[in-house]
Amino acid sequence: MEKIGQELLQLKKDADIRIDKLREEIKEETKLINFYKEKILELEESIKENSKEGFENNIVKPIVIDKIVNKDIEIEEHIIKDEQKVLKEPKIINESTSSKRSLKSCKSNIKNLFSSDSNDVQMLNVYEKIPFKNIDGGAWRQGWEITYDKSKVSSEPTLHVFVVPHSHQDPGWLETFEGYFDNKVDYILSSLSNFIVNNDDMRFIYAEMSFLERYWSRKNSTEREKIKKLVKDGSIEIVTGGWVMTDEANSHYFAQIMELFEGHEFLKNQFDDYKPKNHWSIDPFGLSPTMAYILKKSNLTNMVIQRVHYEVKKYLAERKELEFNWRQLWDNGEGKTDIFTSMFPFFSYDVPHTCGPDPAVCCQFDFLRILKYGCDWKINPVRIISKNIQERARLLVDQYRKKSQLFKHNVLLIPLGDDFRYENKEEISIQYDNYKKLFDYINSPEGFKEFNMKIRFGTLKDYFDAVNRKFEEEKPATLSGDFFTYADHDDHYWSGYYTSRPFYKRLDRLLQHYLRGADLIYSTSVMSYSKNTNILENYKKKVNYSMLVEARRYMSLFQHHDGVTGTAKSFVVTDYAEKMLKGIENCFSIIQNSLEFFLKINTSDAKIVYENNDSKNDHVVKLTVNEYMESSDTLPSSYVINQNTSLVVYNPLSREINEVICVKIYNYDMRIQNINEEDQEIRPIIKVWNKQLTFTNKSNSRNIKRNYFELCFKVSIEPLGTKVYNLTKKRLPKESFCKIKGSDINVKNIDISGSYLKDEYGNDIFDIDRVNKNSEQRVDLKFDSISISINDKTGFLSHINDEVVEVSFSKYGVRSPIPSKPGGEVVSGAYLFLPDGPSTKLSSNENSYIILDGKLKKTVFVKGNEQTQLFHKTEIIESKLYVSITNDIGIMDLFDFEMAMEVNSKINSEDIFYTDLNGYQIIKRKRFDGKIPLQGNFYPMPGVMYIEETKNSGKRLSLIGNQPLGCSSLSSGKMEVILDRRLTHDDSRGLASGVLDNVKTRSSFRIILEEMEKDDTSNRSPTGFLSKIAQLTYQQMHYQPIILFSKTLLNIHESILKRFSPLKESLPCDYHIVAMRTETEKCDYEKRENGGILYNSKNSLGLILQRYAFDCSLSHKNTQSDDKCIESEGKVDLKRKINLESAKIYNSSLTMMYSEEEKEIEEVELTPMEINTFKIVF
């Protein structure tokens, strides 16, 4: 009996454990089912309103779900009474959801982010309505003849006009940044500040902090104080305050935030309490709501924008909706993301196109043209004198009145400037003196009686203060969407610059990756060492913070709208590239020195090295980042690592990663010491040499064959953590060597023989064979997580998981000039894409390929089209759900040639596709065949595009890129990306040259195929969201592990390495650390070190967090990797997650111009899509 009693007792314990476990599972399932129940009930309501018959047909499923939820609640209440029922019911719940995915794996409720009906103007709807006829409107060629009733002028509210002087200054375009500063900007800022001091009614706005900081650093305190006073008094307004006027098509949101942060930090340090409130974006070639959101989160309140498609301007002008509250696509209708925006109505930001609709008249009031330039309309300006002042005033006022008819209020903004204007006192005086005479006359009793107008010089602040008072009663319209693709006239769509100079676009992303990593590591270090003043001081001696500031500024500079766009002169592009390479090298130094310092102070040698400052011991740890570039125009490469070396791997993500990483090694008989053999793999390195695919590696100088190989191995690294892996000489077993398979076509192009594939005994190192084809003549490669098929003739991808996904390549030519067609004389250039018709396929007849078939990776290497020097790679990785694609191309020998990669499928996407905006959000696109030409259907792809079934269920195919390029979907089921373009012509947009400085370029992508089950709400929405897998794949691709190596073995315990991470545990996977950026102290420009300005860091940093919104309607056949990643319920306890100890956390604006330091916080809560900065003081 006693034995039976013990067994019963044990059974009861086991049952209790099972019951507790089941109770937790049911609690989670209940939350998820309630979420789906809510969706279904809302769907019921929608169906009730629209179709009684439809409701009756769909009522069964809601009832079933309702019963399940009720049963689940009943189970929870009676769980102990009926264990058998508990065991059965969860199975019913899972079966009734009829979903292939694990519901636990995704729980974002994004339904309320689909808000297509909450805006007055939705840009996709606008495109549906506009006929795009390009009708000649007369003087305002792209509009209409504006009229007004002159007899009613005196009885209408007085028109208040603010004339706003400005000088648009490109930090690099036809000259380098330094060239422009030395030749123009220095004189402009000096001349203007001196003039305004003596003419207190003159005003000026200024935007580019990169130039202002350079000016600041070269002037004495008297000159600096003069400008500070003018800014404080409101005579000069600093608008936006960014480092540059950033491009909005190709720039990544990380870089957009960082360049704004850099400018705002300079202002905060040098201009006391000055905070910009108004944004000025007059030259970027199309505009993104991402920038509007970043500005909103930075506490700016108003925006001015200019370059928008001329037909869109006309549409908005006809409805007096050129001013609106710009709202995010995913705003739930509350308007929390709204920012007031004013759009210029006419062609350009120069004087002829800003005073009114008639450029021939307006040009006569750009008085600099008296001295030089003249007017294209053959009527030049004249000086204002008493004899002509009435006639001149009437002419000008008439233009102002006509322009005012396009707005809902009686306040008018008149920009007065152009590129690099107000260069000297003579220029400033001729504008000021003539306008002052006109103002005085218009404002005089005589003039006021006739014109009913008040006019003066003003700033954006003056204008928006007046306008916002007008909108207190009647709110402006709300608008959602973006303003791509821009066309300034005719069929001249600016979709070429989405791809121009792609090598440097990729270099920009590489710099961003290392800059983010360097900032994370530096911030982690100073926060960690802040408790010990001696260690902190020694760290700052070891690590040069000024190098980090320089890297930030080089990255920020390239975000300029003639930088990352690829639209500058060739020598300017080279200058940008050299700066970016220097920035990358600076980041390497920060990363290397920081990790060296950490490893040293956690070994027995720490006191010797850092307390006695004995440099002889500095050899203890010496780290080198494994990636390098030989020059600013060569592809990145990695070092070949020898045995008895330690690899130090840093995880720059805020969650644990499980990745396969690879390093080059000198010989095949090497392995990682502390990893299982089955988690390692030896692979040969494949190259194209003498037009052959080969394993030969030849040194550049001696032309000697070398036996370089690749060692791949699995790593698992904690969030923001570091691990050390020791590389030793010991041969792995045969199973750890991949198999080599060569194609049986074009065998002359494959060299898989040679002594470098033999060991010292003459035996093959790798098993070598020809490819095996299936019954459909495809080559299959499989892991449990994913399978692919390769076209046996081309080597290109043909299927994913047995679904058609075909990769191919095509080309566009350049159209011939057509003088008889409006705008037909212009052809493709750096800005414009004007093809000669649809693309044509590039020949793949000479393709050859080699397959490396391993247990960790399976890779297909293709020597492709010879004229484009295509070297193509398709790869799958064990446990991963994506297909990796890499293209190395070189079109240096071609002319008027644009190369595209196409991905074709059988997905019925019709005319709909989706692209990202700045890597931050997704926008729905529609192809408008016939109404918009081919080039107008291309859009920026800073990182992602996808297509999906237009019905509620089916498949989604996502293409994730590691560089910004132009893309489209020109037919159902197809995605297309332009990879590079080489053009002999100028496209008449000011560059005065083509694009002929092409270099060997690499583009990388990941393709994901997913199952989809959506509802009508998301299908109707103008936005979209990535699945969890796609979002995390995008994140992993952009922020890969940083690999360093030491030439000596490091014996460091894992417990020591854990001290380095600032995180105690992973953040939820819907939370992402955008940046962790240490603040910069106010620098003393009088103090220099080795000729340079010395920057120091503060004991505070900005932690920028973003919360993702995942689309949970998507699933995969394999979700194991997804299940490990847990989402938040919205709230995150930072004190519990981060090693802050005595540090304090405060809310702040995005760029930390504002912070709430009176109230310390511990827990943060972000809504999906939200980005916030938190100030940490330590």
Q: What is the mean pLDDT of residues 396-402?
A: 99
Task: Provide the sign of the torsion angle of the four alpha carbons 269, 271, 273, 279, taken in this order.
Answer: negative
Task: Render pLDDT for 635-665 as a digit per residue (tens, 0 to 9).
Answer: 999 999 999 999 999 999 999 999 999 999 9
Q: Of the candidates 590, 594, 591, which has an alpha carbon nearest to the alpha carbon of residue 547?
A: 590
Q: What is the mean pLDDT of residues 1048-1067?
A: 89
Bridge partners (DSSP) of residue 781 are 788
Q: What is the mean pLDDT of residues 246-255?
A: 99
CA distance 675 to 661: 13
Answer whether the bond into residue 301 is a cis peptide, omega within 30°: no
CA distance 1176 to 1178: 6
Total count of residues recorded for the chain: 1178
Instruction: Kindly give the pairing relationship between strand 768-770 and strand 739-742.
Output: parallel
Region of poorest pLDDT, from 607-611, 951-955, 1014-1018 = 607-611
Has 283 been annotated as catalytic?
yes
Query: Can you give the pLDDT at residue 608?
Result: 30
Classify residue 145 by its DSSP letter.
-
Amino acid occupying residue 227: I
Classify residue 618 by its DSSP letter.
G
Specify the 3-state DSSP secondary structure of 378.
coil
Amino acid occupying residue 604: S
Three-point CA angle 102, 108, 111, nearest 5°:
115
Tokens of 1055: 């417990």
Query: Can you give the pLDDT at residue 571?
Result: 99
Tokens of 515: 């800059």
Burial 567-588 (b: 16+ CB within 10 A, else e): bbbeebbbbbbebbbbbbebbb
The pLDDT of residue 700 is above 50: no
Q: What is the mean pLDDT of residues 127-148?
A: 97
Element containing residue 863 per DSSP (H, E): strand 857-863
CA distance 192 to 422: 7
Specify the 3-state DSSP secondary structure of 105.
helix
CA distance 154 to 148: 12
Q: What is the mean pLDDT of residues 1027-1039?
A: 97
For residue 11, name the pLDDT band (cuts at 50, 70, 90).
low
Tokens of 617: 């011991």
Query: Can you give the pLDDT at residue 1089?
Result: 79
Q: What is the mean pLDDT of residues 1075-1082?
A: 98
For residue 108, name the pLDDT band (cuts at 50, 70, 90).
low
Three-point CA angle 225, 227, 228, nearest 5°:
60
CA distance 320 to 140: 16
Task: Render pLDDT for 545-598 as a digit per residue (tens, 0 to 9).
Answer: 999 999 999 999 999 999 999 999 999 999 999 999 999 999 999 999 999 999
Average pLDDT of the chain? 89
Q: Contact at 8 Å (CB) between 946 and 904?
A: no
Query: Can you give the pLDDT at residue 81?
Result: 40
CA distance 172 to 576: 8
Q: How far is CA 1112 from CA 88, 328, 923, in A?
A: 26, 21, 17
| % of residues, the chain, pLDDT over 90 | 78
For residue 696, name the pLDDT band (cuts at 50, 70, 90).
low
Query: Can you give the pLDDT at residue 757?
Result: 80
Task: Render pLDDT for 782-802 as a digit per residue (tens, 0 to 9).
Answer: 999 999 999 999 999 999 999
CA distance 474 to 1055: 63
Q: What is the mean pLDDT of residues 107-114?
A: 71
Q: Of the candidates 40, 29, 1050, which has an alpha carbon nearest to the alpha carbon of residue 596?
A: 1050
Instruction: Kindly give the pairing relationship between strand 411-419 and strand 159-168.
Output: parallel
Rg (CA), the chain: 32
Q: Of the candidates 247, 43, 23, 1, which has an alpha carbon nearest to the alpha carbon of residue 1013?
A: 43
The pLDDT of residue 610 is above 50: no
Task: Render pLDDT for 806-830 as a digit per residue (tens, 0 to 9).
Answer: 999 999 999 999 999 999 999 999 9
CA distance 738 to 853: 5
Q: How far is CA 854 from CA 659, 678, 1086, in A?
A: 15, 11, 60
The pLDDT of residue 5 is above 90: no
For residue 1157, name the pLDDT band (cuts at 50, 70, 90).
confident
Query: Can you give the pLDDT at residue 1118?
Result: 62
Strand intervals (E) in 1051-1170: 1071-1080, 1088-1089, 1092-1093, 1097-1107, 1114-1115, 1131-1133, 1144-1148, 1163-1165
Specify the 3-state DSSP secondary structure of 31.
helix
For residue 15, name the pLDDT band (cuts at 50, 70, 90).
low
Three-point CA angle 331, 337, 343, nearest 5°:
110
The pLDDT of residue 734 is above 70: yes
For residue 68, name the pLDDT band (cuts at 50, 70, 90).
very low
pTM confidence score: 0.90
Task: Render pLDDT for 310-343 as a digit per residue (tens, 0 to 9).
Answer: 999 999 999 999 999 999 999 988 899 999 999 9
Q: What is the mean pLDDT of residues 600-614?
A: 48
What is 493-506 written as a DSSP string? B--STTTSSHHHHH
Q: What is the mean pLDDT of residues 493-502?
A: 99
Specify the 3-state DSSP secondary structure of 976.
strand
What is 214-272 written as a DSSP string? HHHHHS-HHHHHHHHHHHHHTSEEE-S--SS-B-SSS--HHHHHHHHHHHHHHHHHHST
Task: Render pLDDT for 842-873 as a digit per residue (tens, 0 to 9).
Answer: 999 999 999 999 999 999 999 999 999 999 99
Set 247, 283, 338, 482: catalytic member: 283
CA distance 328 to 917: 12
**CB proximity list for 511: less than 8 A, separation 6 or greater:** 551, 554, 555, 558, 580, 583, 584, 587
CA distance 940 to 914: 11
Query: Can you give the pLDDT at residue 7?
Result: 57
Amino acid occupying residue 174: L
The pLDDT of residue 1020 is above 50: yes
Query: Can you give the pLDDT at residue 18?
Result: 59
Backbone dihedral angles phi then psi of residue 801, each to the nearest 5 degrees: 50, 45
Query: Can you give the pLDDT at residue 1158?
Result: 86
Q: What is the mean pLDDT of residues 926-930?
A: 96
Query: Can you give the pLDDT at residue 32?
Result: 54
The pLDDT of residue 615 is above 50: no
Higher-scoring residue by pLDDT: 1139, 1081 = 1081
The pLDDT of residue 981 is above 60: yes
Q: Of the candidates 857, 887, 695, which has an alpha carbon nearest to the alpha carbon of residue 795?
A: 887
Q: What is the mean pLDDT of residues 1117-1124?
A: 55
The pLDDT of residue 1120 is above 70: no
CA distance 23 to 80: 10
Helices (H), 444-491: 445-451, 460-470
The pLDDT of residue 104 is above 80: no
Element containing residue 853 per DSSP (H, E): strand 848-853
CA distance 304 to 526: 39
Alpha carbon 348 to its chain's center: 27
Q: Contact at 8 Å (CB) between 393 and 378?
A: no
113 Ramachandran zone, left/alpha/beta (phi>0; psi -120 to 50): alpha
Element containing residue 684 per DSSP (H, E): strand 680-684
Element containing residue 574 per DSSP (H, E): helix 570-601
